[in-house]
Structure 1
Amino acid sequence: MELNAAGTLVLETLQQAASQDVGVLKPAEQRLKQWETEPGFYSVLLNIVSNHAIDVNVRWLAVLYFKNGIDRFWRKAAPNAISEAEKIPLRQGLASCFTEPVNQIATQIAVLISKIARVEWPRDWPELIPVILEAVKSNNPLVQHRAILTLHHVVKTLSSKRLVGDRKLFQELTAGVFEFVLSVWSSHLQAFLSQMSEETPTMAESLEKALLTLRILRKLVVYGYRNPHESQEVRLFLSMVFDRAKTMLECRKSLLSRDKTALAEVCEKFVIHLTKILLDVLEHHPLSFVEYIHMSLEFAGYYVFTPTGEGLLFERFIVQCLNLVKAILLCVEYKPGKVVEDKKEPEVLRAHELKMSFFTEVTLTEFCRKLVTHYFLLTKADLEQWDSDPEGFAIDEGGESWKYSLRPCTETVFVTLFHEFRATLSPVLLSMVQSSHSLVPPDDLTAILRKDAVYNAVGLAAFDFYDEVNFDQWFSTTLTQELRVKEGNYRVIRRRVTWLIGQWTGVKLSQELRPALYAAMLPLLGRGEDMAVRLTASSTLKLAIDDFEFNTDQFLPFLETAFSLLFALLQEAQECDTKMHVLYVLSFIIERVGFSIRPFANSLVQYLPQLWQQSAEHNMLRCAIVSTMVHLVKAFGMVTETLYPFLVPMVALSTDLSQPAHVYLMEDGLELWLAVLENSSQVTPELLQLFRNMPHLLEHCTDNIRTCFYIIQANILLAPDLFLKTYGEPIIMHCDDMLSDMRSEGVVLTMRLVETYLRAAPSLATDVVKPILPRVFLAVYKGEEYPMVMSMYLSVMSRVLLNSLQAFSQVVQKVANLVGERQEVVLDKILDVWLDKMALVTQLERRKLLGLALASLLTAQSSAVLERFCGIVLCVTEALNDMMKIDEEGSLYDSLMFSNNHLSSGSEDDVDYETEHDHRRKLLSATDPVYTTVLRDYFQRQVAELQSQVGPVQFEQLIQTIDVETLQQARAFIVM
């Protein structure tokens, strides 16, 4: 590409790519994509970005393509990497891009430079930092601003590198630039403060530069020092943070009074960033923060808990201050005994003393009362949200909302304070409860809100306030009485009392009062009740049922009403999150009460298809529906034909890897598929067609491989011949491919699946599983597997042998071909390993299986078998010793016979209810040689047949090969 011609061509193409016409835009994007790997393309882009006469949209597009190219092609090892010859002028050009007039483009250029710096500084681009610092000193305000912006992004990127060598380089950089950056910050901040009184036009520019520089200082302090407190400049900077925060809060207040909202918002960002510096140093360098503990607590207490700071506050600042208090309280390094290293112990003790000296009884009392009586009060905005969006108001914020939202933040700080200083704060909270004990007038909103706040505190402190309250008595008298008041603003109290009961249910509510709790919740779920109260009641009901002491019999009298009311609530809810919440409660009830839900669940089953259709855009709601259906199917015990039209498409969508929704639905979808199969009485074409999804699942969903194997096993037991003929061989081929990359646990699962094949359809399955058998026999031949894996390999080999001696011989021959040995040699080695490893097989059923297979070999007319006659007799006899028991009449019997009801479950996923699948497993056991053949009798017949084959003389010679002890034990069971 000639540069001039190329520049014109690329410019024209970028102009087309910025077009609103799709017919013009798409071809242009394709051409640009083709040029990404062309030499000189990024030089052209840089020329276009640097030409301020070109349209802003075109330059914006050019810088984005440039930035994306850096990600993909800048590293030397990248395919189609940008050449070193082209990189040199690119770096030089970028290092002089400090005059960009458009802020958005300037930001992208700064990010672009930082991406290159991450790869090339300092080895290939050592001049970058000096060039930026020189530009920061420029008298040109624009150049200076762009240089600070670039330095910010470069420092931010370099600070994120975590390798030891990179961290050391960043520490060296910090040592060289920190003092200079600190002076730049101080000068710009001072300039802004001077301009505040005169309201000069450059005021905003100075503040922006001061904020950018502050961001740089934050990264330098947190990531540029191993021990920040050892630097005098850092100590000076951190001590300035508190005073600067106070100054900027006053500036914000002044700017708001002058209607300069935009500047006031920048001041807010500035203050928040100052608090972030304190929080970051505390988190990453707690021992360097020790000398600032008392200052930080005084700072937070002054603004958040005293009237002095009220006029200066804004919500995000309050949250940051409270988070700072909480972080100091919870810091492990500030708790004696938590840190073992002796050299740190003095600092730990000092930190603890500083913390405790601040939290005096008076301070704690003030903090507690201010939190409860001021910050816990519902505001006018809260009540307006309640009226306009009761569902959004009722659903609690979760996760880490305490980091950003005021109410969750105040609540977590209260819980932390109360837990740390329970002895001091318990009397304070108890006095507040006592003062709020009596009923308040329904029309006194102020008193209602105060009581709501106190009850909130009691609920939050439940686990630490345990011994101070007789909750049974409180519940039986005041609380239940307050739930019955419907007038005025009492919805606030009803909601809070309902929530409070839920918080204390698992802490201190007697078992005898659970029916009273259920009875109290049901009216609150009804249609006439406030939506927020109904949703809170549903949560409390779930907490009561989720309790360790939950008694199903106590709940059954309330089940029908509770289920009907919750179902009505589910139908009336409008928001996706609310429907998910109610559906989760319903699902949980179904899971806990099991079969008892059957008479009441039809309405839900009829409604869920409609909800499924409506939730096409809400994958998390669909996830909740699938989960609910899992519990419903298990509760019903048998899937009726009317459910298939709904269930089968749901499972198909959830387990189809070509559908985007599978990311959300896969796990529950597989559980539902398994539940449907286990509770189906017969196979249907629709159920069989579902299996078309399985091959892709086996290839790509290793996290769910166990459930996939259970599904395959359930299909096999449901329709052995049909399934094996349709899907048997492809599944075995997939399993064979996967075995090479599987760990031992996966190998065991796979072998159990192969064994299920061989048990369910012996005549058909032996041919179906042949592709995987050479791998199994070869593993036994080598004899190097873990005991559990070897046990499964020997079990599969035994099944094949019992099903077909011919098939067994064919596989041995195949292995012989693979290893280049004669068949007799391979059989010798397999039998040696078998006899040696059989002692490692511990499960009784498998020992018998191996014993039966060994006994079957006695009549195979093989010299290899006869040479090991002693070993075979020993192994079979040991198996007989393990399973033969003596009955009441003194006779020996086989303890594993089906008639003796000594069956194993035969499944890896134990269930606590009888399913169709369980019934099929029992039927399978009724035809299994392990449970239908008496090993002693079979062994006797085989020995007799062997004697007939070889004649008395040779048989006597075989007997002579058996040692005396083994022969004595064998003759205790059979005649030899």
Structure 2
Amino acid sequence: METNGPPIHARAALLSALIKSTSSVPHHLEEARKQLDEWESDTSFWRILLDICFNQYLTVPIDQLERPVSTQGEYDARRTAIRTAGIIRFKNGVDKFWRLRVVRRVGVAIPTEEKTVLRSALLRAIDEPERVIALQASVAIARIARHDYPNAWPDLFTNLQQAIVEAHTHLAQLGPETIGEPSDKGAERQRQTLRLMRAVDIVQRTLKELDSMRMLAGKIRMTELADTLLPTLQPMFAQYFDETFPASAISEDSGASLQGWARSPVRSAQVRTSHLFLKALQRLVVSDAGALSQNATGPRGDRADSVNLAQAFFRSTPKLLQTIATFRRAYIQCLTPSEVSEASALIVAGITKHLLAFGKIFLALLNRDKSKAATWDGWPEVVEWYWQQAQKHALQSAEPSATNNDPSALVHTPSRFVIQTLLLLKSSLSAWKDAAPAQFTSPEFAQSAADTLVGKLMRLSKDELADWEADSEQWSVAESQKQEQFELEIRTAAERTLMVLADAIKPKWSVGHLVWRLFEQSTQLSHTNLEDVLTRDAIYAAVGRLRDRLPVISPGHVPEEDEEPEEQFDLSTVIGTRLAQEAAVGAEAGSSWVIIRRRIAWLMWEWSEHVAPQHRPATYTVLVDLIADMPGVTDVAVRLSAARSLGALADAVEFDAEAFTPFLAPALTRLISLATSTDLQEMNSIKVCTDALSMLIERLGPRVAPFLEQLVSLVPPLWNNPDPEFKAKPSILSFVSKLVRAVELLSGGGSEALLQPMHQIVDSLVRSSFSNDCAPHLGQDALALWARSVHSTTAMTTPLFELLELAPVLLQQAEETPEVCRIVEETALLVPKELVQHHGRAIFSAFSTILADPLSPVVLAPLGTLDFILQALQAAGAGVAVWPQLLQETRLLGLLVGSSLQIKESAIITSSFVSALARITIMAPPEQVLSMFASIAPLLDVQPAAAGSDIIAPLLSLWAKTFENMHSPRKRKATAMALAAVVSSCGQAADATEASVQAICTKLPEMAAVWSDCLGEIREHCGEAQSSFIRSMTSTEGLGQGALDTDEDDWLEDTSPGTARLRNLAESDFVISVDLAQYISSAMSSVQQRFPTIVQASLTAMDPLVLEILMTDLK
């Protein structure tokens, strides 16, 4: 078919394209896609497409089918596939074209009148027998309703309610289903059941879509819908529930009754419909305003006698919940695995989901912000009923903690139901706070709950043990992830519930004492019996989770005289004696003891802050041994857990590097061995190793010197491991930063030989971090490593210097600009001349791009860095051989002047511009200052001859005005010197004209005020010692945007090479050493000798008192 074939209104053309869209031939698929994409901009396309989709008796030309069909079943399947492709195209089109969309520079949208037709036609989904087609249509309705309800589609829920009521009424008129009823009656029953199910499904999907809107208007709309729909849908659901799950089906002869009940051809659809009813009601009940009130009745809008609809629904649920739980258990009991057919499995799955839907409602009510559901009458009884079911499951099940997510499984209590129970108990206890009902605060309940949670529900299941044995590394990674998604498994949910239970039960520590008693009794358990090992593991997990809920003895704690004695647990002694001894048990304990070794390593991580110095050697011994690869004793799960715990102990305040020295060699060697082991495939595992190594390197400092080469060689293979989700690479960058710091601490002790290979690695990692799509994930960490490397090095190396070719591009990315500026500053401290010669043009050009927008959020960074580079050049004796020319060629000087004159909004930004210009002015040779500013006149649309009046004079006024807002003494003095430098240039510049000098000298009164203020400050604070006042503030004030940002250094004293260079630069800044009075006097003398008449006239025009004060200050 040609793309310019029949017009879009030709139904046959569209049908032909849809047929091709279901083809298995690639070029047919592409041809159909292009044709359908082209037609989408035609307004009549969507109506014809929808008509084809809902045509259950669509005639498909057999000659256009890719393969011939021989049976009616094959023909029907092809027709359904074509209709399905069409409705999916329609659903996606709703997302694209329901609102205005630009296609090939033309705005395309479905017209309003066409939308009205489509909205009406979509309700044909109520009669659609094909589940997938009906589902896609329901989703399309929901997405349209998100935009159109209630304004453009006000009757949506009215029509759906009408369809529900009509279908339910027809079913009521048909009466109860009987065996052998006429076929036409059975067909009508199926049709009306289908209509009811489809209508309810559309309602619940639309409510779900509307409920996903987080704006206040969306919340208000859902509250209004709850007020409208709940009074109708709730009683209808209750009636339909009773019809679907009749009490007669679970009578004395429940087996035969339930078998007969399940044989109905509409039974699965009925169960599904009842479940959909409940899902719709969940959205409405949670959105209802009654969820925020604990009163059964109360004001509701303008109705003072209104009913709390949410609470009314809740009061009806206990009976329904009991019914469906009993119904499910009875139905499962009458089935045997060999008798389970596809139909019965579908019914079991439907009933199970229906049962779980009640738990979802209760949890949703609790989780709503400011919900009062936990205070409702009957709520404690519901929670208690759930807990009783969970306890029965714990007692009767052979493996209570096993998780089975198959809703059709023939289990008496679904694992998801148990999880809901735990979450419901946990959330209710949290909501009750100190007002929990008596049945949940008694010692009996605490004991029973602790026994159930710890003894039954927190045990590792057989499936988990099998997963551990199959792949211990993958199991270890999954275990850490489970703690973040604890609501997915019984064991992890039980752990969190125990923690909340310990907080809720009074007196304080009650649950902690109960669990600790179990911990003490666990010494009697066998080392070789698997059941005993699993029980011990659960108990250890419990005491670990209750770390902050146990009365523990803190290391170094000395009780006060008036402190009341209470039973306290010495975790440090337990770790250093009992746990260390248990972990040291060898292979004779059996293969299952690996579970306890891993749990002990985990406990040492949980309790790492409580390990006292006297017990640390024993703890180090255990962990270092567990990191080793010992078949039959340790596996990857144990080794990773021990590595993480060792890192945590190193991170503790009590860590003593000297005490750890005997364990240093085996610890580092075994961590390196683990990190490079072929057993590790997950990047999360590598991250654990690099994190532990980073912490040890940071805390041990120069002691790791013998291992540095080995540690450096570890980086390339780790970095080259595939890590598409960037789980480990950030930690590797951090690890290399610690290595750089360690090399720095060895300065003068042989570290120079390591600089080149170390910096080659840094170069490789930084470049790799900014390649492809890595930058958003690794950019900040890579820049931190780069900055750390330049800051720490004693000498610039070729790899580190060549990295600067990345700086210009990175400078123009706002989120990277400040850190890149810091790197440029650090480089300027080392090699300022080479920096400007090789990379100055590109860096200054990047600065120009940023400064072109003076209101850029990162404009301060390049201003500070420019100031810094100029200081470094001056300190290195570089003179003015290069930088003035670069300022001109990159238009940087023109942008500095032009932007500073334009800024009106921010005093901080203005002062930064003025500081940069002041530094340029005082560093330029006096005879070149006027010509330097005159050279930028064309950029500012000023005639060069008028530069004095139109550029320099306004700048002088700006500098004098900005001086008042500067807080930095160094910047204030530099500004005063810059004003004097301009005056001096009038006397020394060969191209100084009377007009320009006249314009400049008219600003002498403003300059005199600045000079007097600055000289007065110096004299007031420090007498004649001018430099001491500036240096007393801080020796590094005003030296860039991050030059002293060394958070990773030791907090007591920063002895890094970069900081030493920075201090030297600060001390050598000539702004500090210059005698300001002499500097100003020299400038005034120079101009007065050359242009005495102009200067004298300007001085005469000044206020005599101001002039007298200035002359006094200058003397």
Answer whether TM exceeds 0.5 for this pair: yes
Other-structure match for 2:38:
34
Which of residues 795, 800, 803 in structure 1 aligns to 2:920? 800
Q: CA deviation at 1:354?
A: 4.7
Show structure 1 runs of 5+ residues with no match. Answer: 336-351
Residue among 446, 449, 452 paired with 1:370: 452
Aligned counterpart for 1:526 among listed residues 628, 652, 658: 628
Deviates more, 1:14-23 or 1:104-113: 14-23
Quote how far apart the aligned CAs of 1:264 are.
2.5
Query: Structure 2 regions of 5+ residues with no counterpart?
Result: 61-78, 171-190, 250-257, 298-306, 398-411, 553-567, 745-751, 874-879, 987-996
**Structure 2 CA distance for partners of 1:31 and 1:677, relative to 1, 3 Å:** farther
Map of 1:432-831 to 2, 5 A cutoff? 432-436=518-522, 438=523, 440-467=525-552, 468-486=568-586, 487-488=589-590, 489-506=592-609, 508-528=610-630, 529-531=633-635, 532-572=637-677, 573-576=679-682, 577-615=684-722, 617-637=724-744, 640-643=755-758, 646-656=761-771, 659-679=772-792, 690=803, 693-694=806-807, 697-699=810-812, 701-714=813-826, 720=832, 723-724=835-836, 728-739=840-851, 746-760=858-872, 762-770=880-888, 771-778=891-898, 780-781=900-901, 784-804=904-924, 805=929, 806-811=931-936, 815=940, 817=942, 823-824=948-949, 826-831=951-956
Q: Is the 8 A contact 2:49 2:86 kept in 1?
A: yes
Measure, in 2, the Cα distance between the counterparts of 1:95 and 1:820: 79
Alignment correspondent of 2:405: none
Shift of residue 654 of structure 1? 1.6
CA–CA separation in structure 2 for the residues paired with 1:559 and 1:696? 43
Question: Aligned equivalents of 2:638 and 2:394: distance in 1?
Answer: 37
Question: 1:631-650 CA distances to partner (integer Å, 9 max, x unpaired)?
Answer: 32333237733345544343
Contact 1:252–1:264 (CA<8 Å) still a contact in 2?
yes
SS of residue paired to 2:108: coil
Distance 1:372 1:900 in 2: 61
| 1:18 aligned partner | 22
The separation in 2 between residues aligned to 1:408 and 1:820, in whole angstroms, is 81
1:96 Cα deviation from its structure 2 partner: 1.9
Amino acid in structure 2 at the alignment position of 1:564: T
- Asked if 2 retains the 8 angstrom alpha-carbon contact of 1:897 and 1:932, the reply is no
Find the counterpart in structure 1 of residue 430 from structure 2.
330
With over 3 angstroms needed to count, the CA separation of the structure-2 counterparts of 1:551 and 1:477, relative to structure 1, is: closer
1:129 aligned residue: 157
Structure-2 separation of matches of 1:795 and 1:627? 35
Amino acid at match of 2:504: E
Cα distance 1:548–1:142, how it changes in 2: closer, same or farther (>3 A)? Answer: same
* Deviation for aligned residue 1:379: 2.9
Q: Give the Å deviation of 1:18.
A: 2.5
Q: Distance in 2 between matches of 1:625 and 1:317?
A: 42
User: Which moved further from structure 2: 124-133 or 724-733?
Assistant: 724-733
- Contact in 2 for aligned 1:255/1:263 (Cα 8 Å): no
Q: What residue in structure 2 maps to residue 910 of structure 1? A: 1045
Judge which range, 457-466 or 751-760, deviates more.
Answer: 751-760
Q: 1:127-526 residue pairs with structure 2 within 5 A?
A: 127-136=155-164, 137-138=166-167, 139=170, 140=191, 141-194=193-246, 196-198=258-260, 199-200=262-263, 201-225=265-289, 227=291, 229-230=296-297, 231=307, 233-257=309-333, 258=335, 259=340, 260-284=344-368, 286-291=371-376, 292-306=378-392, 310=396, 312-331=412-431, 334-335=432-433, 353-356=435-438, 358-395=440-477, 396-397=480-481, 400-421=484-505, 422-436=508-522, 438=523, 440-467=525-552, 468-486=568-586, 487-488=589-590, 489-506=592-609, 508-526=610-628
Q: What amino acid sits opposite 1:530 in the alignment?
A: T
1:271 deviation in Å? 2.0
Q: Corresponding residue for 2:560?
A: none
Contact 2:268–2:346 (Cα < 8 Å) also in 1: no
Task: Classify 1:748/1:867 alpha carbon distance in 2 versus 1 (closer, same or farther; 3 Å).
Answer: same
Distance in 2 of aligned mates of 1:781 and 1:377: 72
Distance (Å, rounded) in 2 between the aligned partners of 1:274 and 1:820: 86
Q: What CA distance in whole angstroms lies between the structure 2 residues aligned with 1:143 and 1:953?
A: 100
Return the offset for 1:414.
0.9
Aligned residues of 2:394 and 2:457 also touching (Cα < 8 A): no
Q: What is the rounded CA distance, in whole Å, between the counterparts of 1:696 and 1:893 in structure 2?
A: 42
Q: Distance in 2 between matches of 1:905 and 1:746?
A: 17
- Asked whether the equivalents of residues 885 and 895 of structure 1 are also in contact (C-alpha less than 8 Å), the reply is no
Task: From 97, 121, 136, give the equivalent of 1:108.
Answer: 136
CA drift of 1:99 comes to 2.5
* Separation (CA, whole Å) in 2 of partners of 1:818 and 1:66: 65
Alpha-carbon distance change, 783 to 212 in structure 1, aligned in 2, over 3 angstroms: closer
User: Would the aligned equivalents of 1:873 and 1:970 in 2 still touch at CA under 8 Å?
Assistant: no
Give, in whole Å, the separation in 2 of the partners of 1:170 and 1:715.
59
Report the Cα offset of residue 473 of structure 1. Answer: 2.8
**Aligned to 2:816, what secondary structure does the other structure show?**
helix
Task: Select between 78-87 and 562-571 the one with higher mean Cα deviation.
Answer: 78-87
SS in 1 for 2:42: coil
Conservation of the 8 A alpha-carbon contact between 1:242 and 1:299: no
2:784 partner letter: E
Partner of 1:341: none
Query: What is the CA–CA distance in structure 1 between the aligned matches of 2:864 and 2:144, rounded to whole Å?
Result: 53
Report the 3-state secondary structure (helix = DSSP H, G, I; strand = E; otherwise coil) of the residue aligned with 2:585: coil
Q: Note the aligned Cα RMSD (angstroms).
A: 3.6
Q: CA deviation at 1:409?
A: 1.1
* Conserved 8 A contact 2:968-2:1037: no
- Give a deviation string over 1:152-202, Cα, whole Å, max 9, x none: 212222233344444444333333322332234234433332364522232
Change (3 A) 1:834 1:145: same
Residue correspondence of structure 1 range 926-941 to structure 2 within 5 A: 928-930=1069-1071, 933-941=1074-1082
Q: Offset at 1:485?
A: 1.1
Q: State the AA in 2 paired with 1:222.
A: V
Partners of 1:298 and 1:820 lie apart in 2 by: 92
* Alignment pair present for 1:73 and 2:73: no
* Amino acid in structure 1 at the alignment position of 2:49: L
Contact 2:513 2:550 in 1 (8 A): no
Shift of 1:500: 1.8
Post-superposition shift, 1:883?
5.5
Code of the residue aligned with 1:495 in structure 2: it is R
Cα distance, 1:460–1:20 mapped onto 2, change above 3 Å = same
Deviations 1:882-904 (A, max 9, x none): 557999xx973623899999455
Deviations 1:136-155 (A, max 9, x none): 23242222222222122122
How many residue pairs get aligned? The number is 949
Counterpart CA distance in 2 for 1:904 and 1:76 is 55
Q: Taking structure 1 as reference, are residues 823 and 570 closer, same or farther at Cα in structure 2, changes over 3 Å only?
A: same
**Secondary structure, aligned partner of 1:575:** coil
| Conservation of the 8 A alpha-carbon contact between 2:1035 and 2:1067 | no
**Match for residue 81 of structure 2 among 57, 62, 74:** 57
Q: TM-score scaled to structure 1, two decimals?
A: 0.88
Please say which of residues 441-450 and 209-218 is displaced more in the overlay: 441-450
Change over 3 Å in CA distance of 1:594–1:32 after alignment to 2: farther
Amino acid at match of 1:127: D
Higher helix share: 1
The range that moved more, 538-547 or 463-472, is 463-472
Report the Cα offset of residue 807 of structure 1: 1.6
Deviation at 1:371, TM superposition (A): 1.2
Amino acid at match of 1:945: S
Change in Cα spacing, 1:177 to 1:868, as seen in structure 2 (3 Å) is closer
CA contact (8 A) 2:1001 2:1094 kept: no
